[in-house]
Chain A
Amino acid sequence: MKSTALAEHNALGNSRDASLRYRRREHMLMFILMSPAVLIVFLLLIVPLAWLIIQSFYVGDGVSLEHYRRIFTERVYWNTFLLTFRISFVVTLLAFLMGYPLAYAATVLPKRWAIVILAIVILPFWTSVLVRAYAWLILLQRSGVVNEALMGVGLTSAPLSLVHNELGTIIATVHILLPFMVLPLYATMQKIPRDLLMAGASLGASPLHVFRWVFFPLSLSGVLAGVTLVFVLCLGFYITPELMGGGRTVMASMLVSRNIQLYSDWGAASAVSVVLLMCVLVIFYVVSRLISLERILGTK
């Protein structure tokens, strides 16, 4: 009894060794095949990033924490990061509220409707961010289409301030980031087996009940992926708040450029980038505890 168990154990160990060796060889091959890509990433991403980080610790020619002291003690920086996170939060929420029904419709409607919906979401994606910001300006400004229409039907007597503020920034940013919410959601929803919904219905659940207890929980990984993408991308927005924010809406990436002008020292700007990058890494870390990162990045 004891000896057979031992033999079995050995056999299992041998076959495990063999498969391990095989996998190791496969990994080696993969690594060789990947090396050109890895080299490019190393040269064009890792090295500049390392340089950026090193620079942020230099004031003139001396090593110093001055740039970081400024960021963590001056109110301007605190306010800017707070505003950046607030805008990102609102944009993400709105993108979710608008993107989820869109992705859902694309999933449940016949194929040709799905194509129309996805095309509407993706088409603006191919237009420059700058052009879209100006288009929104024309629509939302005092004498713009929206205000003229609102006053025309008598909903307001004076033009509303729809742009040159946080609101304008949020509207344009949601529009730009919506595809990043809809696409991962659509990918996830597509993979939800229809049988489960039918099973739910055949057991007597109302459509709303099936959605609430079957469909929605299964789509959650897509929600998390979309939310993370939109939030992180929004943190780094530059042109849109610059054009739509009326000068008052200062987001973190704008501080990077202001710091170059103000301190004429690359380090001052690098430090802001590094802090922003750290925020993003923390977010990714927290999210990666909940779902695998590959999922967010769309490889799985």
Chain B
Amino acid sequence: MKQYCRLKTLLGTTLTAVSALGINQVLANGQITFVSQGGAYQEAQTAAILDPVAEALGITIHQDSAPDAWPMIRTQGTTGQAVWDVIDTPPLNCVRGGNQGLIEPLDFSRVPNAESMPDEYKTPYSVAYEFYSSVLAYNPEVFDDNPPQSWADFWDVDAFPGNRSLRNHPLGTLEAALLADGVAPEALYPLDVDRAFNKLEEIKPHITTWWTSGGQSAQLLYDGEVDMLMMWNGRVSAIMNEGARADFTYNEGILQNTHLCIIKGSRNLDTATDFINAAIDPEYQANLPLYIDYGPGNPAAFDTGKISEERSRELPSFPDNAERQVLMSYEWWSSSAGEDAERRWLDFMQQ
């Protein structure tokens, strides 16, 4: 135990040293460290949102990236040594982190831009930043004029023969199973987990592969390895632009988003809060779709006139598209029932 403690202290000291280095660079108007998921997505938001906001507020934005922010949120939150300030992450992490005292509650009185946003786009700790969707994608050559248009079609192996793939993760997959079983979208939550797993058992023998990474899902469709699958809309449109035989529908897509939240013990809490308010400003939000196939977190962005009608229709959070989809409830997934469902997944995969 002593050794354990000492190593913990050592880790803490290292983190302090690292953050002290950052503080030496303090500039007049404040600074924050912003964390997102890297890759093309982070580059897109740098051009669309981060750079313009930094200029407007006169702050310096340091960037970091982590494909899975949760372990770092835990480490920084439990050691009390925050290196990060603002995190762009699924709301599940914000809510779960908030409940465990690792995330600061968001002071909405200082975030006026959030006022007009729908309540379901906000949590006590965070606010929606951008939207993506888990959609039904397919190979149009295989299905000609009659492609699958719902999860019920995906489950109907007689009417729509072909190889299928789903994500190796319960998030979104359980929702699709229940929609296929005839549950009304508005009656989805709380999820009937038993019913969802029973429905999944039905389709299991027809699933060629359960994908793990977004890139893998793109490869499966691109190479014709599967004929239909659930995948993220940005991934489908990326391979469609490359000329792959691919298409998708927003029907019954599982609308998901990432939120912005602030790590507990942030040294730049004020600047971070101001940053969040600016980052969800409709004007900056409207820039995002110009760079990448993700929708703005703030629907008011569609009223700025910046996003063309044609472009709007391609985005997951465009009101007409959003209406056909189901908004994932991260509140349910962060509840104990959600956590149990997540644990049950591994058991299901091995049967």
Residues of A within 8 A of B (CB): 47, 50-51, 54-55, 58, 75-76, 79-80, 83, 137-138, 141-143, 161, 164, 242-243, 246-248, 250, 255, 258, 260-262, 264
CA distance A121 to B34 in the complex (A): 47
Query: How far in angstroms is the closest Cβ of chain B from A275?
Result: 16
CA distance A50 to B2 in the complex (A): 12
Determine whether the beta carbon of A142 is less than 8 Å from that of B168: no
Interface string of B171-191 (1 = CB under 8 A from A): 000000000000000000000
Residue from B3, B74, B346, B350 in contact with A264 in the complex, judged by beta carbons closer than 8 Å: B74
Given A76-B346, A262-B343, residue A247 in contact with residue B223 (CB < 8 A):
no
CA distance A161 to B163 in the complex (A): 11
Q: Which residue of B lies closest to A74 (CB)?
A: B347
Q: Which residue of A lies closest to B211 (CB)?
A: A247
Residue from A161, A247, A260 in contact with B349 in the complex, judged by beta carbons closer than 8 Å: A247
Determine whether the beta carbon of B208 is less than 8 Å from that of A246: yes
Residue B71 interfacial (CB < 8 Å):
yes
Chain B residues whose C-beta falls within 8 Å of the C-beta of A250 in the assembled complex: 346, 349-350
Residues of B within 8 A of A (CB): 1, 3-4, 7, 68, 70-71, 74, 96, 163, 168, 208-212, 216, 219, 223-225, 339, 342-343, 346-347, 349-350
CA distance A142 to B221 in the complex (A): 12
Query: Can you show 19 pairs from A to B with CB atoms below 8 A apart?
Result: A54-B1, A54-B4, A58-B4, A76-B346, A79-B350, A83-B350, A141-B225, A143-B225, A164-B208, A246-B209, A246-B210, A247-B168, A247-B210, A248-B350, A250-B349, A250-B350, A255-B346, A264-B70, A264-B96
Chain A residues whose C-beta falls within 8 Å of the C-beta of B212 in the assembled complex: 242, 247
Determine whether the beta carbon of A76 is less than 8 Å from that of B71: no
Determine whether the beta carbon of A142 is less than 8 Å from that of B163: yes
Chain A residues whose C-beta falls within 8 Å of the C-beta of B74 in the assembled complex: 264
Query: How far in angstroms is the closest Cβ of chain A from B23?
Result: 28
Of the listed residues B1, B3, B68, B343, the one surrounded by the most CB atoms of chain A closer than 10 A to its CB is B343
CA distance A142 to B139 in the complex (A): 14
Chain B residues whose C-beta falls within 8 Å of the C-beta of A80 in the assembled complex: 350
Determine whether the beta carbon of A262 is less than 8 Å from that of B223: no
By DSSP majority rule, is chain A's interface helix, strand, loop, or mixed? Answer: helix
Chain B residues whose C-beta falls within 8 Å of the C-beta of A142 in the assembled complex: 163, 208, 224-225
Residue from B3, B168, B210, B347 in contact with A75 in the complex, judged by beta carbons closer than 8 Å: B347
Query: How far in angstroms is the closest Cβ of chain B from A21?
Result: 38
Query: How far in angstroms is the closest Cβ of chain A from B258?
Result: 17
Determine whether the beta carbon of A141 is less than 8 Å from that of B211: no
Of the listed residues B209, B225, B347, the one surrounded by the most CB atoms of chain A closer than 10 A to its CB is B209
Given A142-B225, A143-B223, residue A247 in contact with residue B346 (CB < 8 A):
no
CA distance A246 to B207 in the complex (A): 9
Determine whether the beta carbon of B210 is less than 8 Å from that of A76: no
Determine whether the beta carbon of B168 is less than 8 Å from that of A76: no
Chain A residues whose C-beta falls within 8 Å of the C-beta of B210 in the assembled complex: 246-248
Determine whether the beta carbon of A258 is less than 8 Å from that of B209: no
CA distance A161 to B209 in the complex (A): 11
CA distance A141 to B7 in the complex (A): 47
CA distance A50 to B211 in the complex (A): 35
CA distance A79 to B351 in the complex (A): 9
CA distance A248 to B350 in the complex (A): 6
Query: How far in angstroms is the closest Cβ of chain A from B147?
Result: 19
Other CB < 8 Å A-B pairs besides A54-B1, A243-B216, A248-B349, 9 of them?
A76-B346, A76-B347, A79-B350, A141-B223, A141-B225, A142-B225, A246-B209, A246-B210, A264-B71
Residue from B3, B208, B223 in contact with A50 in the complex, judged by beta carbons closer than 8 Å: B3
Q: Which residue of B lies closest to A75 (CB)?
A: B347
Chain A residues whose C-beta falls within 8 Å of the C-beta of B168 in the assembled complex: 247
Chain A residues whose C-beta falls within 8 Å of the C-beta of B209 in the assembled complex: 164, 246-247
6 tightest Cβ-Cβ pairs between the two chains A and B:
A247-B210, A164-B209, A247-B168, A246-B209, A79-B350, A141-B225
